[in-house]
Amino acid sequence: MSANLRVGFIGAGKMASALAQGFIKGQAVKCASHVSASCPIADKHLLEHMEQMGCQTFHCNKELMDCSDVVILAVKPQIMPLVLPDIKSLVASKLMVSIAAGVQLAQLQADLNPDSKIVRLMPNTPCIVREGVSVFCSGPQVTPQDNATVKQLFGTVGQIDEVKESMIDAVTGVSGSGPAYMYLIIEAMADGGVKQGLPRDLAYKLAAQTMVGAGRMVLDTHTHPAVLKDEVCSPGGTTITALDMLEKSGLRTSIMQAVEAATKRCTQI
């Protein structure tokens, strides 16, 4: 990956902002001015955070394309058909990365041109604190060097894996949408703590750090979550009593159904 790599975002929503901030913090780019974003004038308020970070901003996609090596398509899926014709003639030597849920490589390739170098990638918002997780798949014109650029770029904001395109929608259901599930659990745990008399700030801290620590245990020890769970449960103790309540409440089934619903939604977009 070039030390002078320039990254542009077509679209300036929350995911684009999170990635931009992560790239700058992780020094994936030489300086903030090597990151740019564009959006219509009607949505100019979305560019304010980018400008505060020191990024370049545009209301013209052509200007952004001219100063970018890697272009990240960060618009909503339903907006993609409006954007792609506007840039079709400009993509010849660019590495295009789409983070739009449900938009397949074949569709992107057809709407641009057969020689376009297109990567489909699904990140998540913890990229902003460089604890994200992303997966990607590449179109037929993408070279090994391009794949290496994607891995190095997104590797600065978390973990990155290459997968088959058939897995991308399920990934969206697990990790793309997953932070929202985790925030809901953190909020519920904290509310429970407050109900039992804990100060709210302390309750949020305990719940959030517990989730961080549990995730790190799974990743670092390579131990099955069920084994780690069993290690916390003493016979007749507080944890097994709590787990019994969660099982009776259908927590496991609810989360599995949430992942399924998010995955299916990708095919409806």
Residue whose entry in the numeric block shows the structure tokens 């100019």: 44
Question: What pLDDT does 156 receive?
Answer: 94
Instruction: Consult the annotation and say whether 94 binds a ligand.
Output: no
In a domain, 255, yes or no: yes
- My answer on whether 45 and 73 are in the same domain is yes
Q: Give the pair of three-digit tokens for residue 202.
A: 């302390």
- Would you tell me how many other CB atoms lie within 10 Å of the CB of residue 68? 24
Pairing of strands 35-38, 7-10: parallel
- My answer on whether 147 and 190 are in the same domain is no
In a domain, 88, yes or no: yes
- My answer on whether 64 and 143 are in the same domain is yes
Instruction: Consult the annotation and say whether 32 binds a ligand.
Output: no
Instruction: Consult the annotation and say whether 12 binds a ligand.
Output: yes
- My answer on whether 183 and 76 are in the same domain is no
Q: For residue 37, what is the enclosing H or E element? A: strand 35-38
- My answer on whether 231 and 127 are in the same domain is no
- My answer on whether 78 and 157 are in the same domain is yes
Instruction: Consult the annotation and say whether 214 binds a ligand.
Output: no
Look at the chain and report how many structural domains it folds into.
2
- My answer on whether 188 and 155 are in the same domain is no
Q: Which domain holds residue 119?
A: 7-163
Instruction: Consult the annotation and say whether 10 binds a ligand.
Output: yes
Q: Could you tell me the pTM of the whole model?
A: 0.90
Instruction: Consult the annotation and say whether 14 binds a ligand.
Output: yes
- My answer on whether 21 and 128 are in the same domain is yes
Instruction: Consult the annotation and say whether 205 binds a ligand.
Output: no
Task: Describe the strand order of the beta sheet including 132-138 as a list of residue ranges.
Answer: 56-58, 35-38, 7-10, 70-73, 95-98, 117-122, 132-138, 158-162
Instruction: Consult the annotation and say whether 11 binds a ligand.
Output: yes
pLDDT higher than 90, residue 115? no
pLDDT higher than 80, residue 1? no
Instruction: Consult the annotation and say whether 139 binds a ligand.
Output: no
Question: How does pLDDT run across 13-65, given as a tens digit for each residue?
Answer: 999 999 999 999 999 999 999 999 999 999 999 999 999 999 999 999 999 99
CATH code at 249? 1.10.3730.10
In a domain, 169, yes or no: no
